[in-house]
Amino acid sequence: MLQELESKLCSAFCGGLQVHPVPAGYAVSSAFEDSSGDRISFYITETPDGYQIEDDGSYLADLVARDINIETGARGELLKAILTEGQAYWDPDTYEIKSSGVVNGDLPGRAIQFLSSLIRVRDLALITRERVRSAFREDFIRALTTRFGDDLDIRENVAPANDLADFPADVVLTTPDRRVGAIYLVNTNDKLNEAHLAWLESRERHSEVVTIAVLEDMESISKKRFQRALNRRLPTTIFRGDEEGAMDFVTSVITA
């Protein structure tokens, strides 16, 4: 039974492995697939000191093209940790993931280690909820800074007014004419409720404060809560999928 199980597992893990010679060395196609159904592949090239293992750079380039920040913040830290553990790094010029130098005798083990890193790196688009929340904030702040630059005073995690200390906003914008935009970054029903309550409080006391709920997406918000926010005219926009449009909305509300 044990030998049969070992044989079946070996067949499952190794049966899909394909190695083809290419001008630069060898192309290796694994049995593992990414979310699009393509096999995860890499290349082995010979160097004066041994070998180097690398991918084609397409995965990280695609993340960057989708405006996903891989250099800093939560995703940047996760990417660095994964690659460091796998004795690899990524090239900022080509977006290729590359191994450090590999000596001949270590090549099989390092190839498996490199493949493991490539599989784990795919989780950058599916990282844990807490990290996603952090990435949402970072992505929004970056888009905000790109849009407004030094034109507005941008502060994080502060109340929009002294008597609104119970409702600290994720981001507070202040225009040159002292108009205040209190932005609540929403990816839970509770956070949408908080934004709604802050809006009710601020509109009664502060005509200069504009409250805006910026939803990350619709996946984690109930339709009923979303409908209530819209029907009660809480300024609301959705960030993911139309970041530029969300920035246009924030601009129009704050400068109205």
Whether 21 shows a pLDDT value over 70: the answer reads yes
| pLDDT greater at residue 91 or residue 77 | 91
SS3 sequence of 142-162: HHHHHHHCCCCEEEEEECCCH
| Per-residue model confidence (pLDDT) at position 185 | 92
Tell me the domain boundaries of the chain. Answer: 10-126, 129-254
13-17, 150-154, 155-159, 204-208: the lowest-pLDDT one: 13-17
pTM: 0.53
CATH of 129-254, one of 3.90.79, 1.10.10, 3.30.450, 3.40.1350: 3.40.1350
| Per-residue model confidence (pLDDT) at position 1 | 58
| Per-residue model confidence (pLDDT) at position 93 | 93
CA angle 52, 54, 58 (to 5 degrees): 165
| pLDDT greater at residue 123 or residue 160 | 160
Residue 81, classified by CB atoms within 10 Å of its CB into exposed (0-12), middle (13-18) or buried (19+), is: exposed
Whether 40 shows a pLDDT value over 90: the answer reads no
- Identify the three-state secondary structure at position 41: strand
